[in-house]
Structure 1
Amino acid sequence: MEKTAKLNISLAVLSSCYFILAVASLSVIGLLVPMAEGLAATESEIAYLVAVFSITNAIFAPVFQTVVGNWDRRRLILTGLLLMATGMVFTGFATVYSVALVGRMVLAFGAAIVGPIASATAAALVDVKIRGAALGKVFAGMTVATVLGVPMTAIGGDLIGWRATLLAIAGIAVLIAGAVWIVVPQTERGHRAQLADIRNIMTDPILAPAILVTAFQMAGQLATYAVLAVYLVEWLSMPSAWLPFTLMTFGVGGIVGNIFAMRLVDRVGPDILILISLICTGAVFLCLQVMPSVTWVSFGLLGAWAAFSMILFAPQQSRLIGMRPGMSNLVLALNGSAIYGGMAVGSAVGGYVYASIGAFWLAPVSAMFVLCALVSFMFSKR
């Protein structure tokens, strides 16, 4: 019983790593207007900081595994969290946009370490029979942050200002780093990857399509989610005053989906849940295109979209680790690159589609990305 309690506490601390990672990365969305005023920048330039974070994370997550992949995992998480805190401090004290840009890049360096290694540590702490559930518990921090992260930072910006809010997030990251060092037990060291290892994985006819599932799925989500506010108003005819409730519904749906995956992944296996996630997410996008613009229907579909899409992540991580158990750090880092690379591509495509031909085509484009994810998954099953 005591051993189980210690394990659950360790997983909760690792989950808090994902929580602060997501809150830090999304913080500029909730602080968009005051940051633009404080840095004498446009709101679009502040929004660009999200893309800078995503692209930097996608590039450097696997690169770091070639440099520090064989470090003690607690030390890696500690280093990543302190880098994240440093990036938030840079941004919080920035007086010009360029310094804030550097701060976001430093934040991304830290996040590129924290996310994959937190998951790899969780997988190493438990028996393979409950690995999927453990990964789901850790990733729950990310799903909770999608509900609370942006509102929390927006409220913080109103109460104490955007600079103090970013510095507070940095302080929380330091506290979590201390908790990791004290609470999380040591595990076996990971494998220090070589560039050849990255090349071999990305050219592997089975593993490469498996990782692309994540990239295509995330691109599908962001193609519509990146411009969700205008999509809801222009295509689903939803009153703009309802947008906060809609975003809350989306976040709650994500939590439900993650809980569903966490409970079932070790019973039915990751492959079935990945199939359910991809097929049902694609179906929801098609329903958004053809269903009548009735508010309660739209709310239900948005909640279903979030739930089905979030089912993917814990099973996907568990499946990738199972495919390369001796290189879990690297495959999870590449999966992290796929997450943020997909976010960057999806956001860019969604913005272009909306600006060029309007909101009508957003859901079909998202559905096409999800279809590509499904095809990639089938290729990885050969």
Structure 2
Amino acid sequence: MGHAVSARHARLLLPALGASYFLFGTASLAVIGLLEAMASAWQVTPARIAELVAVHSLTFAVAAPLLQVLFGHRPRRELISGGLLLLGLGALATVMAPDWSAGLAARVLMALGAAAIGPAASAQGAALVEPSRQAGALATIFAGMTLAIVLGTPLAAWLGHVGSWRTVFMLLAIGSPLLGLMLWRALGEGTAGPRIAGSGFLRVLERPATAWALLMMLLLMAGQFCAYTLLVPLMIQRFGLASGHMTTLLMLFGLGGVIGNLLAGRFGSRLGPVRLIRFSMLGLTLAFAGLMLAPALPLPGVLLMMLWSVCGLLFAAPQQQRLIQLVPLALRSLALAANASAMYLGMSLGAWSGARLYGLAGVETLIPASLLLTLLGALALQRSHQAQRAEERLMRSGIGIGTGAGSVPKVWVQ
């Protein structure tokens, strides 16, 4: 824990770090609810506006680890506050953008800000508390992303409907630097990560336990977004829900995500990250299998959707906790950045796959694809856990070095 941040400040700082997640999560997802309005303003099709989501995700995925290599040794308040400033400038540029091309450039700027914020905020939150409380701390921070789904995206759509889509980005342009200034004052200069060499990313990926864990994140997010991107037509065509109920349905889905994140914080330390991730996968498997086999009636469809939403974010915080335990201290920020990249790449892959499947074969193909990707994610977790256990056996036999969490075999360090 940095010397400038005392333990008594953690309860205030963790929600503030979660607010940074809320702002960049809302910035990345708000476009979904503003497609028609932005398309009309820039005189392009809604599909062109939807491309901005993919551009944001890909920019984030590339920039998150790169920024950690370049600036990860700087005090984390510089990354978090600087990222919030970039996010605000990108939002302001979006407000002023006269056309789609200018909006695209602004979108890249916002993604760069988000890529600086996410890994640094998670690493800072984990550093504020004792190891036994890291699961709850990470769940508190990631709750900001959950709230961005539950509140940020619907609120953005509502503001775009009653006012202007530019209002949404103007609020982000004001709120982001204000939060950045607050966190700059609250976080001490001592909260810096170690310097990371350019080869550090390869060191993270070449370790089997970590590489399989990152693949698991990509597959689980792809599995969910394959169906979530088209949740509205799925629930209307498969289970006969009325289109007028879709706003309530989306709110229920978001509420399930909040419950899942709260459960992760409550039971993460008690059960351990691997066991909690397995519970999440089991719930997702049951939910997707049920959505395939259930009668075409609204009630079973909604109940199974709620199971999916609760389990769908249950694994996010324990995944971060596990990565912190898997890698040495010097590579934690980079591992968290790689995890964020895997998450956004999975979202992009899932959304693209779902759109292609829906266009080729209809809504009935979405859930089987989501189930398949989830099962592949479970296989990746199993391979990661097996590799982790093998490394632990090497350390017990005297081949490894170190004794604490994040210790690694000599063969990997060298």
For this structure pair, what is the TM-score category when the shorter chain's length is used for normalisation? over 0.9
Encode CA deviations 1:146-191: one digit per residue, 9 max, x unaligned. 1111221122223431113211111111111112112234444213
Contact 1:350 1:362 in 2 (8 A): yes
Q: How does 1:38-187 map to 2 (within 5 A)?
A: 38-187=41-190
2:17 is the alignment partner of 1:14: yes
Q: Which residue of 2 aligns with 1:374?
A: 378
Encode CA deviations 1:38-76: one digit per residue, 9 max, x unaligned. 111111111111111011101111111111110100111
2:195 is the alignment partner of 1:192: yes
Contact 2:69 2:200 in 1 (8 A): no
Q: Which residue of 2 aligns with 1:365?
A: 369
Matched residue type, 2:157: A
Q: Which residue of 2 aligns with 1:314?
A: 317
Write the distance in 1 (CA, Å) between the matches of 2:128 and 2:297.
47
Radius of gyration: which is bigger? Answer: 2
C-alpha displacement of 1:5: 4.8
Contact 2:77 2:191 in 1 (8 A): no
Write the distance in 2 (CA, Å) between the matches of 1:358 and 1:179.
48
Choose the corresponding residue for 2:281, options 278, 283, 298: 278
SS at match of 2:199: helix
2:222 is the alignment partner of 1:219: yes
Structure 1 gaps, min length 5: none
Choose the corresponding residue for 1:340, options 344, 368, 385: 344
C-alpha displacement of 1:200: 2.1
Q: Which residue of 1 aligns with 2:389?
A: none
SS at match of 2:98: coil
Contact 1:124 1:187 in 2 (8 A): no
Task: Count residues with an aligned counterpart.
Answer: 381
Matched residue type, 2:128: L
Matched residue type, 1:217: L
Deviating more after overlay: 193-202 vs 99-108: 193-202
Contact 1:9 1:183 in 2 (8 A): no
C-alpha displacement of 1:202: 1.4
C-alpha displacement of 1:4: 5.6
Q: Which residue of 2 aligns with 1:261?
A: 264
Write the distance in 2 (CA, Å) between the matches of 1:5 and 1:143.
25
TM-score (norm 2): 0.90
Write the distance in 2 (CA, Å) between the matches of 1:358 and 1:159.
33
Q: Which residue of 1 aligns with 2:33?
A: 30
Matched residue type, 1:44: A
Aligned-residue Cα RMSD (Å) equals 1.4
Write the distance in 2 (CA, Å) between the matches of 1:359 and 1:20.
32
Contact 1:84 1:111 in 2 (8 A): yes
Write the distance in 2 (CA, Å) between the matches of 1:236 and 1:117.
42
2:331 is the alignment partner of 1:305: no
Write the distance in 1 (CA, Å) between the matches of 2:44 and 2:8.
48
Matched residue type, 1:224: A
Write the distance in 2 (CA, Å) between the matches of 1:213 and 1:292.
31
Deviating more after overlay: 319-328 vs 337-346: 319-328
Write the distance in 2 (CA, Å) between the matches of 1:370 and 1:98.
36
Once the two structures are aligned, what percentage of the paired residues are identical? 35
C-alpha displacement of 1:267: 1.2
Matched residue type, 1:153: A
C-alpha displacement of 1:249: 0.6
Matched residue type, 1:144: L
Contact 2:261 2:317 in 1 (8 A): yes
Matched residue type, 2:231: L
Q: Which residue of 2 aligns with 1:241?
A: 244
Deviating more after overlay: 27-36 vs 104-113: 27-36
Encode CA deviations 1:183-220: one digit per residue, 9 max, x unaligned. 23444421332231111221221110011111000000
C-alpha displacement of 1:3: 6.0
Gap change, CA 1:276 and 1:33, over 3 Å in 2: same
Write the distance in 1 (CA, Å) between the matches of 2:343 and 2:190.
25
